[in-house]
A = this chain, B = another copy of it.
């Protein structure tokens, strides 16, 4: 790094209207789509874990608060759930909207609600297009929550958003929220290229940078490099940077409990399995049941 360079916290782009949008340049959205693969390539482990728990608790309506291009929402629609999908990035949403339009003849897709919404104003945003509604489940998966960085260095924004997720749940409803195993990533200076969520067929190299301020990790930048040129020599050069707040397991667990006023049932999974089954998991998935 040279002295007149800057360390950009994301690939160039521009925030969506009033909202932070790391996908605003459109390229990230397209490359991301390639990275996560086709919707029928969701890993079986993920699908079984999510739909299994939803059914076990009788959940019928699901709010996907980080729907992105819509891939998880469509998996749930296809499995018979009623889904409301929101995202702050209109560059991501346009892929979801296109998919919905193409399948509008199917009743589930005709009823699929897709809207722009911002976690910081989530209850109000939902009130605008669905007055008086609460959900059986809220999902915030695929390491999405960590996109929210810690602007004020006191996690006030994260805390507010978690409370908003709790607020739009019905009593007894479930929140699914995950984050990468940042504790391990910081210790090892590396990020697993394979994902538990999707079967990406291309080799992926992830360069991991950690910014440590006054001794405290404040930002993790992942430079994804996806090489699809084996398959197509003219393939777009697929490099982009996404930045994350590196949630430690302990601190995140406490913050999540506090968002439910310490009264939710809180289960933590490691790569969709019991915590003690996976020695060094890639992801932690928290499932909260609102009382």
Contact = CB atoms under 8 A, between A and B. Distances in A.
Nearest to A8: B6
Which among A4, A9, A14, A91 has the highest number of chain B CB atoms within 10 Å? Answer: A4
A25 interface: yes
Given A90-B26, A94-B94, A207-B214, A9 B5 contact: yes
Interface stretch (A15-23, A46-54, A196-204, A258-266): A15-23
Interface in A107-146: 110
A234 to B, nearest CB: 14
B209 A151 contact: no
Contacts of A14: 4, 12-14, 24-25
Contacts of A147: 3
B4 A7 contact: no
A213 B241 CA distance: 13
A214 B207 CA distance: 6
Contacts of A211: 1, 7, 209-212
A212 B213 contact: no
A22 B22 CA distance: 20
A20 B2 contact: yes
Interface in A232-269: 243
A215 B206 CA distance: 13
A97 interface: yes
A34 interface: no
Contacts of A12: 14
Contacts of A20: 2-4
Nearest to A115: B98
5 contacts: A2-B20, A7-B9, A97-B97, A208-B213, A209-B214
